[in-house]
Chain A
Amino acid sequence: MSTRHLVISVTFLQPMCHARLGKGETAPNEWPPSPLRLFQAMVAGAAARWAGAAGPVQLGGITLTSDVPVAALKWLENLCSVTPPTIVAPEAAPGKAVPHYVPNNSGDLVAARWAKGNALAAFEDRVKKTFRPTHLLGGQTVHYLWPLDDVREREARLHEPAIAAMARSIVALGWGIDAAFGDARIMDANGLADLAGERWIPGRIGAPGLRTPVARTLDDLSARHGAFLRRLQNGVFTPVPPLRQFATVPYRRASDLPVRPFAAFLLRPPEKDTGYAAFAGRRATCVAAMLRHAACKAAQEDVDESPDAWRTAEWSLRFVAGHGPPGESKRRRKDDNHPRFSYLPLRSIGHPHADGMIRRALIAEPFGSDGRSARWIEQRLAGAELIDEHTRTVVARLEPVRPDDPDFDHVFHLYAARSEEAATVWTSVTPVILPGYDDNKRAKRERLVLECLRHAGIDAEAVDSVEVRRAAWFSGITESLSAFKRPCYLQHLPAWHVRLVFRRAVSGPLSLGAGRHCGLGVLARQ
């Protein structure tokens, strides 16, 4: 991990920002302000500071010539294109869109009416401008962080005075009324912990993305500014071309879970199209094993060895079957976080008479995956049979169901909620197997639960609190922890029921612990 970071901070003078993601009146608010917006504010600051300067400018004992800020901005745009910054921004909430009617700049027409003798003529020509501020709820400073390796750090040290001078020349970020001031410095990792706010991580799928500068953004901005100044030259309006040199990078709060693609199935009886095949809740791992077996069989049949193929033999072994790397033991090492399917049998819960039996299942990709494997398995396992390991008989048939189907019912929504049903409180329905011995000590247990979160791809920042106990929270789940069947390699590890309270509502599906891929540690929203 990099120990040094370039940090540019911008503080709003009022607790709001009016930046938008587009030009239209209905464009959504932009929060946090994009790296490109920061870059533009720095360019404007530099232009104002160096405008008309014939010679070097003295700043805090350092002499800067006009070549220096240009070189620094070029370096910064390249840095952004390689490493978009992490953004630490205060929590914020959008306000209402309120149309204001502001005077149009047509005072000459009113004055002409006065000159004609109509002394009562008023400034009636108004234009609509819709205000929809983003209210800052926990502070007024936004920080942009770039990690620096040794080479980048040397370059950053070279450009630091110019970058700091430009950051300190920022006068607004967003609209003109969003007055702000900036600062820049190189900080070590210890200092970053003191930066208050929510962390926005680049490159994690989220909507919508933020614009970031790339190589030649400065040149494009310069050309656009020139065109803007000439747009009404000699009284003739010439449209200003839009900015083209930028990239759009997906950003997501560290406390938000990325989307987790999944395929959903109803477990039908082997010979019928209606009703359900039901399995006892304590047999969750057995149902998961049958699902995995069906998936592996389908994957082996569908292996594609063409050069651009993604359904390779390795994908079949590692992603679908969950094995270790080729040539090694089938069992994965503890630190092997290669992506793989999780097979999640779902217990019928959420109703006073629900019996906790398994009638449905999900097969989920890891958080933030592209979803192509889920789409494949949904199609490939349609009508596939689940075969009992011991009796070798068909015990169920899989019927895929899409989230927008009526059959994607209340029980499915408890495990994979629609966006409007997303919840902050999730509790385990099958026991969570801790990835180590807790020695019956609370502190150790909590540490192991945090480790479970990390293994499951859930940022600890996303979780507000964790509760662990022996009894399940759902009323219909009465089995003791030891009643649940487990594969041999998990039998020696401690099992608990877990309740997670997230900072923000999440949709699922969620599974936690060492058995998270084989039906144990499945969570439902409360």
Chain B
Amino acid sequence: MSDLWTKYDAWLKEDGPAALVIREYLMPAEGPDAVVFPPTFAPGDGFPGGYNIDGPFNGHPDGENVCLIDSVGSQANRIEPEFSKDPYRSLVPQVEIQAGERTINLLEVGHRAGDAITRCTELASELNAAFKSHLKGDDNPLAKIAPTSLIFGVWDSRETQARLPRLVGSTIRAFNVRKLTRGAVYIPPADYSALDVFDEDEKAKAEGDKKNPLAQRGFVHNPASGTLGGVIARGGIRRDATLNLVALRLLKAPKEDDSLKLRRYILGLSLVAFTHPSAFIGSLRQGCILVRDPARKMDNAFVAVYADGRRVNLEVSHEGALEFARAAAEKFGVGKNRQLTFSKELAKKDVQEAKSKGAKKRKGQ
């Protein structure tokens, strides 16, 4: 056990690395030259809608353009709920909120411990106190309730305004991509004009007009051409993940010994999240199943980066990280699991208080 502490405690010291970095090359499950479907974004602000492809760039080390395959936020949303499953669920407190017939785990809630949903449960005052403790330099209370909020970052935007930075960030990008388009035609199962549902003129008018009710209801042929058809990543697909050890070392408890236990605990969880294959293995979305690229195995990197620029190769397996996380969690003492009920009364009271205080403020003005 002491070897385990020695190995990881070196990263928690002031002269330890500033960050751990993983660079891992991926490819579509069908093969490196297969089409992969990136996420699409709505139009706006001059963006026509579609894939987020930046470039062309002159001098980009990875190719002439960069396509976003999975953002920091999406990656976090894929990894965090893994802590509600075996064998990780014992590492963190399981806080479940019951509202009507629905039950939601705090690990699945968008704003983590700062989410407004927690304000209408019996956890509200405890979380408020935990955020206030953070502002005073004690992160232990929050780690006992929602440790993943310390890993993926949190902002208590509805109450204390306390913010904790993200420790683990992961993004998947494709490089040097060629964008494809595709065309398709919807063919109705019967010729409805022949069945006297409408006449030939109406049919001719409706075909190809997506806004026409006949086309929308599937009564006529409906072609769709030039739609998004995925990309071919000629420069490869890469997952870049970082674990910010500087931010981790800023977590603290009132006593030095407790600070060490807290940092070990969060480091263990971070390493589990950081190395978890759920972030990229499997289906990210329809048409985007990624696996590791065996041909570029030698280009993969797992390094510790120091403030003076040194980069030291590391070997940390997911199993090794899990072993350390278990040991650190045991020493720290994982917070208790909770079953909470969403309280309509608390919600009403919250809204009422906000209204009355707003009115008082207006009156005061």
Contacts and interface: CB of A to CB of B under 8 A. Distances in A.
Contact of B41 (A60, A98, A171): A98
Interface in B104-139: 104, 109-111, 114-117, 119-120, 135-138
A118 interface: yes
A11 interface: yes
B136 A51 contact: yes
B243 to A, nearest CB: 9
Interface string A105-141: 1111111101111110001000010110101011001
Q: Which of B41, B99, B104: most chain A Cβ within 10 A?
A: B99
Interface in B40-90: 41-47, 52-55, 57-61, 66, 71-73
A483 interface: no
A60 B14 contact: yes
Q: Which bracket fits the contact residues of B?
A: 35 or more
Contacts of B321: none
Contacts of B250: 45, 48-49, 169, 171
Nearest to B162: A229
Given A26-B45, A181-B19, A234-B357, A171 B246 contact: yes
Given A111-B97, A179-B19, A232-B158, A123 B60 contact: no
Nearest to B308: A183
A108 B120 CA distance: 7
Contact of B54 (A59, A95, A105): A95
Contacts of A105: 110-111, 114-116, 157-158
B137 A98 contact: no
A168 B307 contact: yes
Interface string B174-211: 00000000000000000000000000000000000000
B96 interface: no
Interface in A38-53: 45, 48-49, 51-53
A202 to B, nearest CB: 25
Interface in A1-57: 11, 13-15, 25-26, 45, 48-49, 51-53
B247 interface: yes
Contacts of B148: none
Contacts of B14: 59-60, 168
A107 B18 contact: no
Interface in B13-37: 14-15, 18-19, 21
Contact of A99 (B47, B97, B110): B47
Q: Which of B60, B61, B115, B117: most chain A Cβ within 10 A?
A: B117
Contacts of A25: 45
Contacts of B57: 93, 135, 137
B165 interface: yes
Interface in A45-79: 45, 48-49, 51-53, 59-60
A123 B110 contact: yes
A95 B68 CA distance: 11
B166 interface: yes
B169 A96 contact: no
Given A11-B18, A133-B54, A235 B117 contact: no
A130 B360 CA distance: 35
A339 interface: no
Contact of A170 (B136, B158, B246): B246
Interface stretch (B267-275, B327-335, B347-355): B347-355
A488 interface: no
B9 interface: no
A15 B21 CA distance: 12
B302 interface: no
Contacts of B305: 11, 13, 181
Q: Which of A169, A183, A234, A235: most chain B Cβ within 10 A?
A: A235
Contacts of A107: 109-111, 115-117
A461 B350 CA distance: 62
Given A11-B18, A108-B119, A118 B100 contact: yes
Contacts of B44: 99, 128, 130
A103 B110 CA distance: 7
Given A101-B42, A107-B109, A236-B357, A119 B347 contact: no
A376 interface: no
B102 interface: yes
B358 interface: yes
B259 to A, nearest CB: 10
Contacts of A48: 250
A235 B165 contact: no
A439 to B, nearest CB: 38
Contacts of A172: 165
B153 interface: yes
B171 A14 contact: yes
B100 A181 contact: no
Contact of B169 (A52, A169, A179, A232): A179
B282 to A, nearest CB: 23
Interface residues of A, number: 66
B361 interface: yes
Given A107-B109, A107-B111, A110-B117, A135 B169 contact: no
A116 to B, nearest CB: 7
A15 B63 CA distance: 13
B307 A182 contact: yes
B212 interface: no
A223 interface: no
B344 interface: yes
A49 B52 CA distance: 37
A93 B64 CA distance: 12
A108 B117 contact: yes
B309 A141 contact: yes
Nearest to A138: B59
A117 B15 contact: no
B317 interface: no
A177 B47 contact: no
Given A51-B136, A235-B354, A97 B47 contact: yes
Given A14-B169, A179-B166, A114 B242 contact: no
A102 interface: yes
Contacts of A232: 158-159, 161
B283 interface: no
Contacts of A130: 44-45
Given A105-B116, A130-B44, A13 B242 contact: yes
Contacts of B60: 93, 135, 137
Contacts of A138: 59, 61
A176 interface: yes
B18 A52 contact: no
A116 B358 contact: no
B244 A181 contact: yes
Contacts of B117: 107-108, 110-111
A131 B68 CA distance: 12
A29 to B, nearest CB: 12
B252 A112 contact: no
Contact of A100 (B18, B41, B54, B309): B41
A231 interface: yes
Contact of B135 (A101, A108, A229): A229
A228 interface: yes
B287 interface: no
A160 interface: no
Given A51-B252, A98-B52, 10 more contacts: A11-B18, A14-B242, A100-B71, A105-B115, A108-B120, A111-B342, A111-B347, A171-B165, A228-B161, A235-B350
Give 6 nearest A-B pairs by CB, closest first. Answer: A52-B137, A107-B117, A95-B54, A181-B18, A51-B137, A114-B99
16 contacts: A98-B52, A103-B110, A106-B116, A107-B110, A107-B117, A115-B100, A116-B100, A119-B101, A133-B54, A137-B59, A168-B307, A177-B72, A179-B247, A181-B244, A181-B307, A236-B360
